[in-house]
Amino acid sequence: MAVSRAADRAREGDGPTLLEFRTYRYKGHSMSDPAKYRTKEEVEEYKQRDPIEVVKRTIVEKKFASEKELEAIDHRIHEKVEQSVKFAEESKYPDPSEALRDVYVQSDYPYITD
């Protein structure tokens, strides 16, 4: 409902909308965190409510795409991410002067100092 309203608002030219999505972290905070502070039942309950999984189920149920088509999309995304990581790892570090480039819309923002 909120996403639909935000999309309509944007289409009408009223600008962007900030949406908050609450999700659940299935794994521990790090590789060394076994996450024993949650039960398997709790994790499984949240997996069923996972927004990405809910959307995937809806897409398949409404026949917008098949499971096989979604897997192909996931595969293309994975390949793109791998290419992006490779590009980033092989690229030179940017010039430090780029750190604030395009961060602020207002060019005379009072807290930017050269």
Instruction: List, by residue number, the catalytic residues.
Output: 25, 29, 37
The alpha helices in 2-110, defined as continuous H runs, are 2-11, 40-49, 51-61, 67-90
Separation of alpha carbons 113 and 92, rounded Å: 25
Closest by CA to 16, choosing from 25, 5, 26, 6, is 6
DSSP 8-state class, residue 12: T
